[in-house]
Homo-oligomer: A and B are copies of this chain.
């Protein structure tokens, strides 16, 4: 099937670029000597997670339990969930998942740890735990080595939990004293620190330098804006995703309308929203829910209704979460269609 036979908007992945991004990161981590544990939040596609594991990732990371369930269903066997699992529904799902694969869970409070412990007792499982340290995300994570030590001591006493170490986000060299002091406190107390999990695409070297045992990288797989940081650098050579769209209106000489808007690209508004490969001079200047508004005043090309364009979306993770299917292409040939099975798993 040729790409031109696809209906629009379609989310497509350049498989050559995808494979290169996966192997480059695997090689990079291998060279600097830090085990990689990929984060799958960017793509949410089990088949891509398997490509990453096959390339050497020692397991995966899933931000939500629902995404981890999808990945275990697909045969992935080693998953870190760096998220406080709270509430009876999720706790039951967690113990169920622990019976099916190696699952490690991060916690940052006694309340979260206690909830997991209680359900682990009920369901007769032991759950590996890491303590999340806040090394700059100002999100979750305990805020000092003493707080980490205090929590580790509590966890050690909770049945059903198997403390394995710590987890940080993001990895950066400034975090080294925090980590070193925490690890020292725990080890002096006889608490095992087998895992020091670092994270953030681009922080692999920092993870190595500050003593992590693994590094979590996610956005490298697609190389979108969150990774590149500059929309001018979006290019088909490094970015995997495109949204194939159709021009549906050319009523005004300076403007064309494409058939994808916020519902297709996500609503985060920094222009240009995406990079049009065929016509880099055409600028997406706005989006309503179902329409993309493109300024073509700088183009010599005369656009016509029905013409197709390939847009590299800015926000590749959020864009992926809006689509049910990812079409894998090689050149102009459709090679595969993957369900984005982890899409919409908010729970």
Number of copies: 2
* A32 beta carbon closer than 8 Å to chain B: no
Segment from A69-77, A79-87, A94-102 that makes contact with B: A79-87
Residues of B within 8 A of A304 (CB): 111
A290 contacts chain B at the CB level, 8 A cutoff: yes
Cross-chain contact of A64 among B112, B252, B290 (Cβ < 8 A): B290
Surface stretch bound by B, among A134-142, A154-162, A183-191, A271-279 = A134-142
CB-CB contacts below 8 Å: A226-265 with B: 246-252, 255, 257, 259-260, 262-264
The reply to whether B267 and A87 form a contact with Cβ atoms under 8 Å apart is no
A7 at interface, CB cutoff 8 A: yes
Look across to chain B and name the residue whose beta carbon is closest to the beta carbon of A151.
B251
How far is B292's CA from A140's CA once the two chains are assembled, in angstroms?
A: 10
Hey, which bits of chain A sit against chain B, CB under 8 A?
7-10, 41, 63-64, 83-84, 86-87, 89-90, 108-109, 111-112, 115, 134, 137-143, 147, 246-252, 255, 257, 259-260, 262-264, 266-269, 288-291, 293, 304-306, 315, 317-318, 321-324, 344, 346-347
- How many Å lie between the Cα of A293 and that of B138 in the bound state? 9
Q: Please, how many angstroms separate the alpha-carbon atoms of A289 and B262 in the complex?
A: 16
Q: How far is the CA of A111 from the CA of B347 in the complex (A)?
A: 45
Give chain A's interface secondary structure class.
Answer: loop
Q: Which chain B positions have C-beta within 8 A of A322?
A: 321-322, 344, 346
Task: Given A267-B318, A306-B111, answer yes or no on A8-B87 (Cβ-Cβ < 8 Å).
Answer: yes
Q: Is the Cβ of A109 less than 8 Å from the Cβ of B315? A: no
Q: Given the complex of chains A and B, what is the CA–CA distance between A151 and B41 in angstroms?
A: 47
| Interface CB pairs A-B, < 8 A, 10 | A9-B346, A86-B259, A108-B249, A109-B251, A115-B306, A138-B293, A140-B248, A266-B267, A267-B315, A322-B346
A87 touches which of B7, B143, B269 (Cβ 8 Å): B7
* Chain B, Cβ-Cβ closest to A291: B139
Q: Compute how far the CA of A264 lies from the CA of B138 in the bound complex, rounded to whole angstroms.
A: 20
Chain B residues with CB under 8 A of A315: 267
Q: Are A305 and B346 in contact (CB under 8 A)?
A: no
Given contacts A84-B305, A87-B306, A318-B267, A291 and B250 within 8 Å (CB-CB): no
Inter-subunit contact B318/A140 (CB<8 Å): no
Inter-chain CA distance A138–B264, complex, in Å, is 20
B residues near A64, Cβ cutoff 8 Å: 290
Contact, CB under 8 Å: A305 / B109: yes
Whether the Cβ atoms of B290 and A140 lie closer than 8 Å is no
Known contacts: A86-B306, A263-B318, A306-B86. The answer to whether A143 contacts B251 by CB under 8 A is yes
Contacts of A250 in B (CB 8 A): 109
Report which of B84, B134, B138, B289 forms a contact with A318, defined as CB distance below 8 A. Answer: B289
- Give the residues in chain B near A115, CB-CB below 8 Å: 306
Measured CA separation A290–B342 after assembly (Å) = 13
Residue of B nearest to A66 (CB): B7
Interface hub of A41, A108, A346 (most chain B Cβ within 10 A): A346
Contact (Cβ within 8 A) B347 A140: no
Nearest 3 pairs of A and B residues by beta carbon: A7-B89, A111-B305, A84-B248
Residues of B within 8 A of A268 (CB): 262, 267-269
* Chain B hits for A318, CB < 8 A: 262-263, 267, 289
Partner of A140, one of B246, B260, B291: B291
